[in-house]
Amino acid sequence: MSTVLVLLDHADTGALRGSVLELATVARDLAGDGGAVHGLWVGDEPLDPALPVLGRHGVSVVHAATTGAADPRLTPVLAEVLVDAVTASGATVLLALSTFENKEAVARFAVATGAGVVTDAAAVERDAEGRVVAAKTVLAGTWTTRCAVLTDPAVVLVKAGAVPAREVDADAPALPAVSAREVAVSERATRARVVERTAEEPTDRPDLAAADTVVVGGRGTEGDFTALEALADVLGAAVGATRVATDEGWIGHEAQIGQTGVTVSPRLYIGAGVSGAVHHRGGMQASGTVVAINSDPEAPVFEIADYGIVGDLFVVLPQLTEALRAR
């Protein structure tokens, strides 16, 4: 019986990130019978619209924290809020999405509290001794490990898509109780300040890191993503790219998949004109099914492809798109 606290990541608009509901599901399994799932909402964005869906996903209490004049998007500020909320909720486990910002925040949280941290977890469970154990792939997706967190509190950052979000089994789940408070943030947390912030423009596509299907373009596209976009439309897929494609400015940097970019592990990965350099593989090798289309039969991507086509992507992709559309 324990309380698990979930960081409720949301966009600048206040829209909850969909994968947070997956975390709530993981949290319910970890909390067990008699345990509780609490949420932590940080910032001034309106919380009310999110409450019903959180209730349906088993969150019983939401701690709504504001930070006065301190910008909660600064990770040292977020870290202090995490310390406050874990103390207030009595949580023994803290879960958050595995983003760069959250990694920074929990690193500082861990220095303050002595907590152990696993990042990039693909699954989380309790072992026979009740310890929190997280599965993650390492070494560019070539190895799978299970890591036990030896501390209380335990912190796990979970990748999008770890589990399907599950609603609670109740006809009319209660709205979560809201516990609002302002956290007094220390001066040291705001010594680095945000001079400028440009939020990414919302797109009609799913979030790259969370998408079920990802269509990826590399050097072979020569900058023309039209055929990829059309396929992504039919599949409801996110569009990603290799480092070469983002460096060339063919697509925004936020689309870069790889060791220093976004890590994806969708059910279906389709790479077109992607050579499969090791940096890229490190960001996608944990994908379910890998499809590769490349005109070079020697491209390393074929070594890891479940279905490889040696051919011209500008011929193969439109045909694939047309066949799927005609279904």
Partner 1 sequence: MSPTAGAGNVPGVRIVVCVKHVPDIQSDRALGADGRLVRDGGDGTINEVDENAVEAAVVLAEQVGEAEVVVVTVGPDDAEDAARRALQLGADAAVHVLDDDVAGSDAFGTAAVLAAAVRRLGADVPVDLVVTGMAGLDGLTSLVPGALAALLDLPQLTLAADVALADGEITVRRDLDHATEVLSAPLPALVSVSDRANEPRYPNFQRIMAARKKPVETLTLADLGVDPATVGAAGARTAVVEAAPRPPRTDRVLVSDDGQAGARLAAWLVERDLVRPAAPPTGEVL
Q: What is the DSSP letter of 26?
A: H
**Interface with partner 1 by CB under 8 A: which range of 58-66, 85-93, 216-224, 258-266?**
258-266
Which of 73, 93, 77 has the alpha carbon at shortest distance from 9? 73
Q: How far is the CB of 141 from partner 1 (least distance, A)?
A: 7
Beta bridge partners, 256, equal 241
Question: Residue count at the site for partner 1 (CB under 8 A)?
Answer: 119
Q: How far is the CB of 28 from partner 1 (least distance, A)?
A: 17
**Interface with partner 1 by CB under 8 A: which range of 9-17, 58-66, 166-174, 218-226?**
9-17
- Residue 280 assigned as binding residue: yes
- Residue 85 assigned as binding residue: no
Distance between CA atoms of residues 163 and 87, nearest Å:
27
Q: How far is the CB of 305 from partner 1 (least distance, A)?
A: 7
3-state secondary structure of 55: helix
Which of 149, 146, 144, 115 has the alpha carbon at shortest distance from 132? 149
Distance between CA atoms of residues 294 and 271, nearest Å:
8
**Interface with partner 1 by CB under 8 A: which range of 33-41, 175-183, 217-225, 303-311?**
303-311
- Residue 276 assigned as binding residue: yes
Q: For residue 287, give Cα distances in angstroms to 14, 118, 230, 253, 304.
A: 30, 20, 22, 21, 10
Q: For residue 120, give Cα distances in angstroms to 137, 195, 260, 284, 286.
A: 8, 29, 14, 13, 12
> Is position 35 an interface residue for partner 1 (rule: CB under 8 A)?
no
Q: What is the DSSP letter of 48?
A: G
Tokens of 249: 């400015």
> Is position 44 an interface residue for partner 1 (rule: CB under 8 A)?
no
> Is position 37 an interface residue for partner 1 (rule: CB under 8 A)?
no
Q: Of the candidates 5, 7, 16, 284, which one interacts with partner 1 according to CB under 8 A?
A: 16
Cis peptide before 202 (omega within 30 of 0): no
Q: Of the candidates 35, 103, 163, 168, which one interacts with partner 1 according to CB under 8 A?
A: 103
Q: How far is the CB of 10 from partner 1 (least distance, A)?
A: 8
AA identity, residue 1: M
- Residue 275 assigned as binding residue: yes
Which of 250, 161, 254, 251 has the alpha carbon at shortest distance from 200? 254
Q: How far is the CB of 37 from partner 1 (least distance, A)?
A: 17
Among residue numbers 132 through 161, which ones bind partner 1 (CB under 8 A)?
133, 137-151, 160
Residue closer to partner 1 (CB basis): 171 or 187:
187
Tokens of 295: 């005109």
Tokens of 232: 């992504």
The interface mask with partner 1, positions 178-217, x = CB under 8 A, is ----------x--xxxxxxxxxx-xxxxxxxxxxxx----
- Residue 256 assigned as binding residue: yes
Q: Specify binding-site residues.
A: 219, 242-243, 256-260, 273-280, 294
Residue list for the binding site for FAD = 219, 242-243, 256-260, 273-280, 294
